[in-house]
Amino acid sequence: MAGIDGSAAHLSDTVFTTAIAVYALAMVSYVAEYAFGRRGRVAATAAVRELVTVGSPRTDATTASPPARGGAERLGRFAVALTVLGVALHALSIAIRGIAVDAVPWSNMYEFASVAGLVGVLAFLGVLWKAPTIRHLGGFVLLPVILMMFLAGTVLYSKAQPLVPALQSYWLGIHVTLVSIAEGALMTSAVLTVLFLVKHRADKHPGSTGAFSNLATRLPAAETLDKVAYRIVAFAFPLYTVAIICGAIWAEAAWGRYWGWDPKETWAFVVWVIYACYLHARATAGWKGRAAAWVNLAGFFAITFNFLIVNIVVSGLHSYAGLS
């Protein structure tokens, strides 16, 4: 294994910081669009969709977005452009880090958080592609990503290092890649679920005012949020399953057993079972909607716990955190 290319590692850090700044700018633009956008936008878009369905069902919903509305619309487009730029920089920083350590660059908490954040933003862009109406919600996705990247770049940061022997396995690449993709996607699902709960509540108490109901009027229909959140889990759950299997294959090769109830493994299991609960809840009478949404959030809580608390506080074999 070659040593570490210090200047490349340094460049990677710089690009990483720039990506955070670009995301922050994008977030401000989303929030501005959100604040200045007109109230009726969701209703208007929904109406347009009906129209389109009648006329020519093939038409992509993009063309259905309401005619440009000056400032807010331009802000929104600007925000998306910035997000794309941020993603490009973010991906670049990870790629350079990979070159610097001459291995897949997600073997410690800093690198992992960075990759998961990237996947979260990509998942948002993917959803945006299919459902442009949620654009003004970009701030809600970028906020946790920025926080996580900030945390990654400060508290969780570790210098670029070559891998210790136990981590020198291609299963590591596959395992951690899949986990970070799945968890990044599940983060987006959790954000949409929170928004679903807000909208759901507002639908129940139509008369109320305040920040929440103000927010709710601009959200897509509760049912849409719920559905998109579900589709994301339906995508991420099999990935997470494969990720756990790859982890088990790797553990078998490295530690002599495929499963040992190490704290990290235990929490991966807990997360997996909670999302299985979520999928069941959505198919169980009386659990659809709000209850299922809370299960989804419990799943994301478990992911966060596994990532932060188990890595930092609970010790185990998976001491890859790189913190000391």
Partner 1 sequence: MRTALILLFLLAVGAVPGSLLPQRPLNPGRTSGYIRAHGSWGRFLDGIGMFDVFGSVWFAAIYLLLFVSLIGCLIPRIRLHARAVTRKPLPAPRNLDRLPESGSFETSDNVDAYLDSARAVLGRRWRVVRREDASGAVTLSAEKGYSRETGNLIFHVALLASLVLIAIGRLYSYQGSEIVVQGHGFCNVVAQYDSWQPGRFAAEGKIRPAPFCIDKLTRFTAAYTDSGEPSKFAADIVYRPSVDDPSTRARITVNHPLRLQGDRVYLIGHGFAPRVTIRMPDGTVRHDTEPFVPQDAATLQSEGAFKLQGKPGAKQDVGVAATFSPTPVPQSAQTFTSASPQVRNPILGIAIYLGDLNYQGLPQSVYSLDTSKMKLSGAANLRVGQKKTLSNGVSVTFDGWVPWASLQVSHDPAQGFLLWSALAMVVGLLGSLGVRRRRLWLRVTPAGDSSDAPHTVVSVGGLARSDSGNFSTEFAALFERLRSVGRPARAAVLTGTE
Please tell me the distance from the alpha carbon of residue 236 to that of residue 181, in angstroms, as a whole number: 8
Of residues 154-193, which lie at the interface with partner 1 (CB under 8 A)?
Answer: 161-162, 164-166, 168-169, 171
- The one among 110, 124, 230, 320 contacting partner 1 by CB under 8 A: 230
Nearest residue to 112 via CA among 193, 189, 167: 167
**Could you tell me the two tokens for 272?**
């997996």
Please tell me the distance from the alpha carbon of residue 144 to that of residue 191, in angstroms, as a whole number: 9
**Could you tell me the two tokens for 72?**
């807010």
> Shortest gap between Cβ of 315 and ligand HEM (angstroms)?
28
**Could you tell me the two tokens for 225?**
């949020």
> Shortest gap between Cβ of 199 and partner 1 (angstroms)?
16
Q: What is the x/- site pattern for ligand HEM, positions 282-301, by CB under 6 A?
A: -x------------------
Nearer to ligand HEM, 45 or 224 (CB): 224
Of residues 217-276, which lie at the interface with ligand HEM (CB under 6 A)?
Answer: 276
Whether the CB-CB separation of 230 and 282 falls below 8 Å is answered with: yes
300 binds, among partner 1, ligand HEM, none (CB under 5 to 8 A by kind): none
The 3-state DSSP class for residue 7 equals: helix
**Could you tell me the two tokens for 259?**
């499963």
Q: In b/e form, how buried is each residue of 68-88, taking b as 16+ CB within 10 angstroms? A: ebeebbebbebbbebbebbbe
Q: What is the DSSP track for 85-134?
A: HHHHHHHHHHHHHHHHHTS-S-SSHHHHHHHHHHHHHHHHHHHHHH-GGG
33 binds, among ligand HEM, partner 1, none (CB under 5 to 8 A by kind): none
User: Contact between 280 and ligand HEM (CB under 6 A)?
Assistant: yes
Nearer to partner 1, 137 or 243 (CB): 243
Of residues 272-291, which lie at the interface with partner 1 (CB under 8 A)?
Answer: 273-274, 276-277, 279-281, 283-287
Binding site for partner 1 (CB under 8 A): 1, 3, 53-54, 56-58, 161-162, 164-166, 168-169, 171, 223, 227, 230-231, 234-235, 237-238, 241-242, 245, 248-250, 252-263, 266-267, 269-270, 273-274, 276-277, 279-281, 283-287, 302, 310, 314
Binding site for ligand HEM (CB under 6 A): 276, 279-280, 283
